[in-house]
Every structure is written in structure tokens, then in C-alpha cells.
Structure 1
Amino acid sequence: MFSPDTFSARRAALAQAVGSGLIVLLGNEAMPMNYAANLYDFRQDGSFRYYGRADAPGLALTLDAETGETTLYGREATMEDRVWDGERPSVVERAQAAGISHTAPPEALAAAVATAQRSGRTIHTLPPYRAAQRVRLAGLLGVAPEAVTPSEALMDAVIAQRLVKTAEEVSEIEYALTLADEVHRTAMWMAQPGRTEFEVAAAVQAAAASRGAVLSFPAIITTRGEVPHHHAGPHTLEAGELLLHDVGCVAPESGYCSDITRCSPVGGTFSDRQRAIYELVLEAQEACIAGCAPGVPFRDLHDLASRTLATGLVGLGLLRGDVDEIVAQGAHALFFHHGLGHPMGLDVHDLEGLGEDRVGYGNGFTRSTQFGTQYLRFARELRPGHVMTVEPGLYFNGVLIELWRSENRFAEFVDYDEAASWVGFGGVRIEDDVLITDDGHRVLGPGIPKSIVDVEAVVQSGTA
């Protein structure tokens, strides 16, 4: 786990980048489900955790960008808290663990902000993504909630700092990947006829929980792989179906995330059609991973995935015509309609709360308006220390195929009769987490089964 000096150094770098004013970072609050004492599992704000370490609700910190002075604000545990919830670190202990020398009660934050405002200092805040935080910021700043305006200087400084992972951070992501290895092997073992998607999802959740971990996002476990965000349901698995499992874990102590997708043949053997699509997606993924290197625009790798997939789909008779023209016009997006990947870190879509375009575009890159490519979350050049997911996919979505067919869209490129014959296949997505190094890249993690031979072997081992 990181030392107090790590957090002090992070704050010093942030203060230097912002230059002047008072930086205010709010931690997340506990969130009630249906009444005040019945709470959702707590998840700390990624930026607060990056600079303030503490993984507990109701905290805030201020950082003077000119002096570097930091104060942690929080409420001490009451006797009632200690009786019902047990002992917890004091605010001073939390501050010391993050190298912070000053503490204060929560109500002192408003006075600190007001003092800075009276002195004509700029108050720097990040964009709130929860309504309660927006209201809290509005009260601190003395404006209406809709008038809360985040600091561009602070957002840019945080993005620049958090996108580049240190060796310590990479180590924590790799630990999260060892947990992901366990949960994906569990999903493979469970991909047997007669089990339900709910049972697989429960086993995956239990595999993470047994290691003291939680999932980094609600697990996507489904035979409806053509719907990219479809979650588990009561469907009973049948031999010959394809089970897609997109699951990541959170390293318990540090909060760093993993995000992996695999596909398992129910019963243990890929059909000829499944094999053809799986091998094509794997070819595209491996080509894109091989291309990961400093200075390479991630948009170029997305385009490489699109061309590779389109070439294979022409060979399968689903598309026809010149591959470059197919991709330029966007006809391939009927089958590949999302971006290649996203940054990883303390958030599974790292920093997305600060604005997807601000994180992933800029410096000459603009978001495409073309269906499919418009969902690419990150386009800019890769740098050493970036950790990216690389996750191409192919999907046979009956609703989308029928819509495009009814509109006669890209009829010169798409064989709709052939496409209709694939409806019910589902979808294939293959995802790994990749570190950009000084001279190339490194696929992180222990080597989660991915080849057809390896996946089939793990699934078949679950029948014993």
C-alpha cells in the first residue's frame, strides 16, 4: 500500500500545476437505498482517493495551490457509530496516513472557502457527478446548483497526473487482475448446460468476495452478447450457446480496478461459426495490442480494429466491397458499434467523471459523429504509463440489423440476408488491460485464458 509520502508528492505536483487559488476536493457521501440507515456499498471518489487516500464517507480536503497546505475535514465517530458499526480510524489518523498535517470538522470547510473568496482567490473544484455533491458545492460557493462551474485548470491537471500510472499503481492494477483471473475462470467452469445466468453471476460475485474484493462494475454475464451491456437473467444455459462475461475487480486496499472480457462456449466446445467470429475478434485484438506504443494515437488502433474486423466479415460474406470504403462510410459498425477501449485506474473508466472528451480528446483530436466510432472514449496519443483496455467485438443485434435493412442503409456493403441468418448468435468481445511502456507495451495480469484451446480446456474442466 502507498506511503504517506506518495500522497504528499501527488498533492505537491497538483498544487504546482494549478498554481494559485484554493483546491477543494469532496469525498463521496454514504448513499441510502430506501431509508437513511440502509446504505449502498460505499465507493470513494477516485480523485479524492488519489490525493487524500481515505476510503470513508463524509470527508473533504482543501489544498492551497500556493503554499501546499492541506487540511482534511471529517467528523469523528460518535459512541453510537462505534457501538453499531465498530471502531474506525480517527480523522487525525486518516490524515497522517496521507501525509496531511491539518484536520478540521466538516463545518469548518465552509469558513475556509468563504475566507478564500473574500480574499479574491479562485476556488478550484471538480465536476460533481452526484446530485448531493452538486448541492453541497453550491452551498459552499454561494451559487445555485446549476451555476456550479468546475475549474478547467484543476480538471486538466488531475487528468494529466492520474492518466500516467506509477509502478506502484500498475502493481495494484495487476493485483486486481489476479482477482479477475479467478472470477473469469469461475465463469468458464460454470458455463455448463442447465445452469442459469444468475447462478454464474452469483458464483463470480462469490469468487471476488472470498478474497475480500468487490466487482469494479456490475458484472455483464449473458448469452445475449449482442447487447453489450446486458446483465445476467434467469435464462438457463444450453449446449452450443456462447456466454459472454465482462467482469473486473477492485484491489481491496488501494481501490485500483481491472476490466476483462472473455467468451465461453457453453458445454466446452466452440461451434464452427463461433470459432470463426472468435478468431476474427482475437486477431483484431492482438493486432491492436501489438500496435500499442508511445506516440501512437489510440484512434489509429480503433481504425485498425475496424479494418481487421471488416476484412474478416467480407471473407465471411457478411460485408462486401472495398474494406477501406466500408470503414470510411461506417458500414462495419453494424457489427462493431463501440470504441476500442478506455483508460483504467482508480475508476474502471478512469477519470470519465471529469468529462470523456476532456480526458480522451483534445490536442487535435475531435470526436467522430459516425455511428460506432462516436463511442470511442479515448483517441489521443498513448504515453508511457497509460493503462488502456483493448476490447474489440462483433455483435449480431437483430434490432439493429432489421432497422438498417428497413432503411436500406449501406445496402451496397451489407448482405442483409446473410446478416439475418446470424441473428441469435449473440456476440464476442475480448478485452485485456495494457500498460504503455517506454518502448512499447505490456499486457497486464497473470494471463487469463484467451485462446480457443485454453478457453475450451477451462470450460471442460468444470464438468468434472
Structure 2
Amino acid sequence: MFKKEIYTTRRNELISKFSSGKILFLGNIENPINFEHNTYPFRQDSSFLYYIGIKSPRLAAVLDIDLGETLLFGDEMTIDDIVWMGQQQTLAEKAALSGISKLLPFDQLFDYLKKSDQNTLHYLPPYQSHNKILLGKLFNCPVDLLQPSIALIQAVAAQRSIKSVEEIIELEKAVDVAVDMHRLAIQMTKPGRYEYQISNAMQHFAQDQGMSFSYPPIVTKRGEILHNHMQFHQVHEGDLLLNDSGVETSLGYASDLTRTFPVGKRFTSLQEEIYQVVLHAFKSAEQLLSPGIRFKDIHLKACEALVEGLIQVGFMKGNSQDAVANHAHALFFQCGLGHLLGLDVHDMEDLGEQYVGYSTSEPKDTKTFGLKSLRLGKELEAGNVLTVEPGIYLIPELTQLWEQQNLHRDFVNYDFLKKHLDFGGIRIEDNYLIEENGYRRLGKYLEREVQEIYRLKDNAID
């Protein structure tokens, strides 16, 4: 945990945004895999971590706005718990580390909330079934009709979006470990290996550093599948391997890096051409990072850079600006350029992209293919932490559909494209802090230039 003053200050700052009522933060519970006592690894809710800091399951906190105090609901270990798991730090001790002195048993939460004015009880959107059911009972309504507090969502999103010095230190820890993990993956990848062997080696490395994956890693030679978690392929000379993986610190802060590299010693000529196109778009976007600029505009500039490169290679034709204006680039770049990063790898996505990545004056485009997958579009602020991750993905099924529908023939060279539908995909991704006068790439430098990757390949390890 951070120092207790940090949690107290965070809670006081949040309370100051409201005139009366109560704020409810529900922690997560342990969820069973196949029977009650065989559970998935526990991960505390990120907003609960941000304001309370305690990682134990089955907790709730209430911030009393009128009294300016916090109540923690939870239970101390029973003797049965101690028999099975050993004596651990007490809940009272954990609460003290968060600056909380008032504790009540968890089973008193429901009655306590029932006595509160439910018109001024603020809560965030629940995503765990346990918390949905609890709130449904509390408000006597179906879970799909629950109405989280928009004011609380907006206040939490605004506060968590600006990272403190302490948070940046944690984020850089996560990036540094991920950089070494990615180097390991590049150097150990060779013809004959399996994707899962590379993934397992990275997991071992991360755990040796006291960290875990921040999300299920994407380690695949089928890089055109954007979120491909299948890792059973054997890799061969001439294949590309796309490695999208990051780690999480003990305090919950995440990194999210991607590199794409040859399985053998070198790219093929086409692979190197396309890689340079993605790298150029990456650098073009990186240079634009600054407070006051809309991330959506950076995304569109990166799209134009991708199209310019694809025209040179032969996959596209025409004018790059016109192609992007007509969304023809989305055949090759179907997703967004990046997202916020912090306690979640897609930071605060549970609060809703409209409130986290966009503004009321410029709402998210939820219909246009490509733009609907852009998680961040609003003006950047100093203190934001985000990813930049352009890519090119050749998806045979999407190409076939667009050609059948006669889409964007003025911009897409289908005859040439169809000769290379087995290409796969390339993505490059780093993590950035927006500063008052520009940006700073977080953590250690991870090789991205072609010759830098080749040097790593030349120093392969078994």
C-alpha cells in the first residue's frame, strides 16, 4: 500500500466534489472456477484499490460526505480461516494503513445502506455478479435497471485520469519488467518453438520479479487476430510473432507493450516494408503527444501515415487523407490507436468509455467501423498515462467481405492484397506520460528499430 495520507487525501478530494449523501465502493469477492473453494486468482476492484488500498475480498467502504469520514465493512479472520490459511494481518491493521478507524461487519452493510437516503447514495457501475445482486436487492430492482451515479463516475474518472508521482513510479516499475520480459521473448523465439513456450517463459520471468501478467498475453504468429489468446502453434522460419503483454505491480499498476518480430533471424522483404510503415506511423503519433490535443486527431494522423505507407507498398491507392476520411484504412487498421493506462490495462473501462475516454461535447462514435473501437478520443491532459499502438492487420475474412460488397475500390488494391492474405499482423506499442510541455515514454527503452531487433536476434538465448 501507499502511505495512508495518500488514500485519505484521495477520499477527501472525492468527497469535496459532492454536497451531501454517501459514496459506496464495493470491493470484489473471490469467484469459483468449478466449485466454491477452488477460486480464480483474486483481483481487487481498481477504484476500491485507488481509494482504500486493501486487497482482501468481500469488503465495502462508505464515504460519508456529510461527516467527512469513511466506514469499512468487512470481517476479521475466523479460527477456521486461520487453520486453513494461517494468521495474517488483521483487517483492523489493514484499515489503519488506509487511515480508516471505523469498521463494521460486512453483514451490516445492507441494513446500514437501507437506512441511508438512497436518493443520495452514489455508486459506480457494478461488473461482478455478487455486487449486481447486492445492489439489486438494495434498490429492489432488476440488475439491468440499476442506475449508477453519473456524477460519481465523472468525478472518479477525472481524479484517476491524472496520475500522481507515486503512481508514475509504480507504472515505470511495471514497464521496466515488461521491457526485460519482451527482450527475453525476442531472444528465445526461434523456428521450432511453440507460442506457449514463449508465453510461459515470460510468465516465469514476471513472477520472479514479484509481478504477474496484467492481462492474458497475446503471443501469436496469427497477429491479424487482434485479441488472439490461443497459443498452440509451432512457429517456423518466415513467420512473424506478435507479442502483446504487460505486467502488474503488487499495488495493481499495469504496463502494456507490444513488439512484432521475425521468428528467424530476419524479416522477409515484405515484412520489413510493412514493419517500417507501422514504425513510421508509431513515431508520427508519438511526436504529437501533448496536452490540449485530441487523441482522436492523433489517431487519424497515424491512420494517414499508415495509408501513405500502404500506398507505397501497393496495398492501397489514391489520396491518404481521402482514404482516411472515408474510413478505407479500417480494412488494415480496425482498432484504435491507444487507451488510458493505470490500475487497469484499459484504465477505468468499467466506468464506461464515454466518461473515461471522451467528453460530453464530443461523444464517442459508436457506429463507424474503426472509430467505434477507439477507446480514447478526448483532449489529453498533463498527468494522463496512455498507450500508442498502431498496427496493420490483414484479415482474409474481412477482405473477402469488403470486396464482395464492392467497398472502397478507389482506395484498396484488392488484386495485390489478395496475394498476401497470409501475411498476419504487425503492432508496435509503448506507454507514455503526458507532461506540461509534451510527453515522456515510460520506463526503459524497448528495441523497436529493425536493426535493433536484429541485434537482439543475433544474441539469441535458449
TM category, shorter:
over 0.9
| Distance in 1, Cα, partners of 2:8 & 2:239 | 52
Matches within 5 A, 1:353-368: 353-368=350-365
User: Is 1:267–1:460's contact at 8 Å kept on the other side of the alignment?
Assistant: no
Partner of 1:379: 377
Q: Tell me the SS of whatever aligns to 2:115.
A: helix
| Distance in 2, Cα, partners of 1:310 & 1:426 | 17
Q: Tell me the SS of whatever aligns to 1:462.
A: coil
Partner of 2:45: 45
Q: Tell me the SS of whatever aligns to 1:71.
A: strand
Pick aligned residue for 1:401 from 399, 402, 422: 399
Partner of 1:335: 332
| Distance in 2, Cα, partners of 1:364 & 1:394 | 31
How far did 1:286 drift?
1.0
User: Is 1:73–1:91's contact at 8 Å kept on the other side of the alignment?
Assistant: no
Q: Tell me the SS of whatever aligns to 2:259.
A: strand
Partner of 1:290: 287
Partner of 1:202: 200
| Distance in 1, Cα, partners of 2:159 & 2:66 | 18
Give the superposed CA RMSD: 1.3
Partner of 1:127: 125
TM-aligned CA distance change 1:371 to 1:315, over 3 Å: same
| Distance in 1, Cα, partners of 2:158 & 2:410 | 44
| Distance in 1, Cα, partners of 2:7 & 2:271 | 48
Partner of 1:242: 240
1:159 equivalent to 2:196? Answer: no
How far did 1:121 drift?
5.4
Pick aligned residue for 2:144 from 143, 146, 163: 146
Partner of 1:216: 214
Partner of 2:134: 136
How far did 1:364 drift?
2.2
- For residues 358-400 of structure 1, give each alpha carbon's deviation from its aligned partner in whole angstroms, at most 9, with x where no partner exists: 2111242122332112210011000000001000000111111
Partner of 2:299: 302
Partner of 1:272: 269
1:187 equivalent to 2:185? Answer: yes
| Distance in 2, Cα, partners of 1:172 & 1:270 | 35
Partner of 1:230: 228
Partner of 1:32: 32
Q: Tell me the SS of whatever aligns to 1:394.
A: strand
| Distance in 2, Cα, partners of 1:104 & 1:8 | 19
| Distance in 1, Cα, partners of 2:140 & 2:322 | 54
| Distance in 1, Cα, partners of 2:30 & 2:353 | 25
Partner of 1:441: 439
AA in 1 matched with 2:211: A
| Distance in 2, Cα, partners of 1:380 & 1:83 | 52
Partner of 1:173: 171
AA in 2 matched with 1:293: S
- For residues 145-185 of structure 1, give each alpha carbon's deviation from its aligned partner in whole angstroms, at most 9, with x where no partner exists: 23321001110100000000011101100001111112211
- For residues 310-364 of structure 1, give each alpha carbon's deviation from its aligned partner in whole angstroms, at most 9, with x where no partner exists: 1111111111111111111111110011001000000100000001112111242
Partner of 2:95: 95
1:428 equivalent to 2:430? Answer: no
Q: Tell me the SS of whatever aligns to 1:228.
A: coil
Partner of 1:7: 7
Partner of 1:281: 278
How far did 1:232 drift?
3.6
Partner of 1:320: 317
User: Is 1:340–1:392's contact at 8 Å kept on the other side of the alignment?
Assistant: yes
Q: Tell me the SS of whatever aligns to 1:149.
A: coil
| Distance in 2, Cα, partners of 1:116 & 1:234 | 53
How far did 1:440 drift?
0.6
| Distance in 2, Cα, partners of 1:87 & 1:163 | 37
User: Is 1:73–1:106's contact at 8 Å kept on the other side of the alignment?
Assistant: yes
| Distance in 2, Cα, partners of 1:83 & 1:214 | 27
| Distance in 1, Cα, partners of 2:83 & 2:458 | 49
User: Is 1:201–1:232's contact at 8 Å kept on the other side of the alignment?
Assistant: no
| Distance in 2, Cα, partners of 1:159 & 1:176 | 22
TM-aligned CA distance change 1:121 to 1:366, over 3 Å: closer
- For residues 255-296 of structure 1, give each alpha carbon's deviation from its aligned partner in whole angstroms, at most 9, with x where no partner exists: 100000001210221111111111111111111111000000
| Distance in 2, Cα, partners of 1:221 & 1:316 | 26
AA in 2 matched with 1:296: I
| Distance in 2, Cα, partners of 1:212 & 1:178 | 13
TM-score (norm 2): 0.97
1:461 equivalent to 2:459? Answer: yes
Partner of 1:260: 257
| Distance in 1, Cα, partners of 2:387 & 2:86 | 39
Q: Tell me the SS of whatever aligns to 1:421.
A: helix
AA in 2 matched with 1:3: K
Between the aligned residues of both structures, percent identity stands at 40
How far did 1:87 drift?
2.3
Q: Tell me the SS of whatever aligns to 1:442.
A: strand
| Distance in 2, Cα, partners of 1:45 & 1:224 | 32
AA in 2 matched with 1:362: S
How far did 1:139 drift?
2.3
Structure 1 residue runs of 5 or longer lacking an equivalent are: none
- Greater displacement, 6-15 / 278-287: 278-287
| Distance in 2, Cα, partners of 1:216 & 1:271 | 32
Q: Tell me the SS of whatever aligns to 2:17.
A: helix
Q: Tell me the SS of whatever aligns to 2:380.
A: coil
Pick aligned residue for 1:392 from 390, 393, 397: 390
